[in-house]
Structure 1
Amino acid sequence: MDTLRTLSETKRTFYTQHTRPLNSIYRRVIEELLVEMHLLSVNTDFKYDPIYALGVTTVFDTFMQGYQPEKEKESIFNAICQAVENDPQKYRQDAEKLKSIAANHSGEEVTACLSELKPLDGAEELTKVLQEIKNNSRFKYSRLFIIGLYTILETANPDLVTDDKKREEVLQKCCQGLGLPKEKVDKDLDLYRSNLEKMEQARSVLEDAIKADRKQRERRQQQQKSSEVELEKKEENTEA
């Protein structure tokens, strides 16, 4: 019998793969995602699927906006996936494929696919995954899965972001069709949307602070230049 990886081993692998220090503002986001993925990966009922992959990439890309240095984001994402013994490229490819499918179909078509398993052109694999989920009494529901599902719905129908009634109707259909726990779905998506708002506010405050700091530096530089010019004039007058 294989020994399950411990959380400590997963974290150690992550920091072995990504050796640069983490931006302190984003450390909690990174470590929470890593822990969540680890706990799922060692759960016997959990099975990877493209919807889950989309949830992972959505959470990472959304909450890592503004990370500096920007060029290190890919290394961090890769390290997270590798730490749970997964292929980061597969996550990206599966997620992009689902977003492409959603973007090329109407909200009604996508909702019908996710709730009634009505086939979509070019989405045979998605239909197969949904069928397996519906028929699996031990399907391991997760926050990352529902965020992936919500991202598909949102991509096909952006109105869901602002139309509470329509969002509730669509989610109700999907939960009934796939046998998902509606109460958990509502709780997870409410928390996700709330965290998005908080992150946006925090990012706005951070951007304002950076702009204010930049203006202050520019003002000091300008004052320094002015002082240098005045000093040069004084020296010229003295010499004259």
Structure 2
Amino acid sequence: MVEIHLLSVNIDFHYNPIYALGIVTTFERFMMGYKPQHEKESIFHALIQSVGADPNIYRQDTQRLRSLAIDLPVSDLIGWLNQTSPLDKDEKIQETLQAFANNQGFKYSRLFGIGLYTLLELSDSELVKDEKLCNDALKTISNGLKISEEKLIRDLELYRSNLEKMSQAITVMADMVAAERRKREQPTQVLDESITSPEEKE
């Protein structure tokens, strides 16, 4: 929320669909263990509205990008993102990429980087599991968009590390809840046994 607010008041920041994809993906993954589930969408709306934006636009742009990435071979996606092989797929996103490549006032952010990574992940989930292939793809994209490859890769390493920590925390919490449930059930079983008559025991 802090990062979204700081970006929203930055004079160089302009909303774009890849940034929206980064926000939605980050929210969904870091809220994965949140309960009750039905409250998550209300929280998302409140988060986006807190910076004067429309959460429906974020969702719509995210869905559009996800569908596009799933349908594109990863080589075509990389060529499109680094602007060596522009595709006639989505005029709005094409304008965003060109603005970055031409340094037309578009500010890089970690959330934009997560959006780029998510596109790669949707297009080829195996590629992002291979550190060298993934980093090579990110370097190619960053060079085409004129953004720092070191910063992009560092931001995504932090993102993936935090996802792993979150996954471990959810597992630990699930184990603790299960252990507490067993602990609560145990006295009941002991009590049931203690009130059983000798004849019943025989």
Aligned to 1:143: 110
Match of 1:60 among 21, 24, 27: 27
Flag as ranges the 4+ runs of structure 1 deviating above 6 A.
none
Aligned to 2:147: 180
Aligned to 1:201: 168
CA contact (8 A) 2:78 2:137 kept: yes
**What are the within-5 Å matches in structure 2 for residues 217-232 of structure 1?**
217-227=184-194, 230=196
User: Highest relative contact order (Cα 8 Å, sep 6+), 1 or 2?
Assistant: 2
Calculate the aligned-residue CA RMSD, in Å. 1.9
CA contact (8 A) 2:12 2:105 kept: yes
The offset of 1:119, in angstroms, is: 3.6
Q: Does 1:40 align with 2:7?
A: yes
CA contact (8 A) 1:117 1:131 kept: no
Which amino acid letter does the alignment assign opposite residue 99 of structure 2? E
* Alignment size in residue pairs: 200
Q: Does 1:82 align with 2:49?
A: yes
Q: Does 1:110 align with 2:104?
A: no
Q: Does 1:69 align with 2:36?
A: yes
Q: Render the CA deviation track for 1:168-205: whole Å, top value 9, x for unaligned.
A: 11011101100011121121111111111111111111
Distance 1:207 1:223 in 2: 25
Which amino acid letter does the alignment assign opposite residue 64 of structure 2? K
With over 3 angstroms needed to count, the CA separation of the structure-2 counterparts of 1:214 and 1:117, relative to structure 1, is: farther
Q: Render the CA deviation track for 1:55-107: whole Å, top value 9, x for unaligned.
A: 00111100111101211111111100010000111111111110111011111
- Residue 72 of structure 2 aligns to a residue whose secondary structure is coil
CA contact (8 A) 2:70 2:123 kept: yes
Q: Render the CA deviation track for 1:109-134: whole Å, top value 9, x for unaligned.
A: 11111012534464332222211221
- Residue 116 of structure 1 aligns to a residue whose secondary structure is coil
Which amino acid letter does the alignment assign opposite residue 165 of structure 2? K
The percent identity for this pair of structures is 48
CA contact (8 A) 2:83 2:97 kept: no
Distance 2:3 2:107 in 1: 13
Aligned to 2:128: 161
Which amino acid letter does the alignment assign opposite residue 127 of structure 1? Q
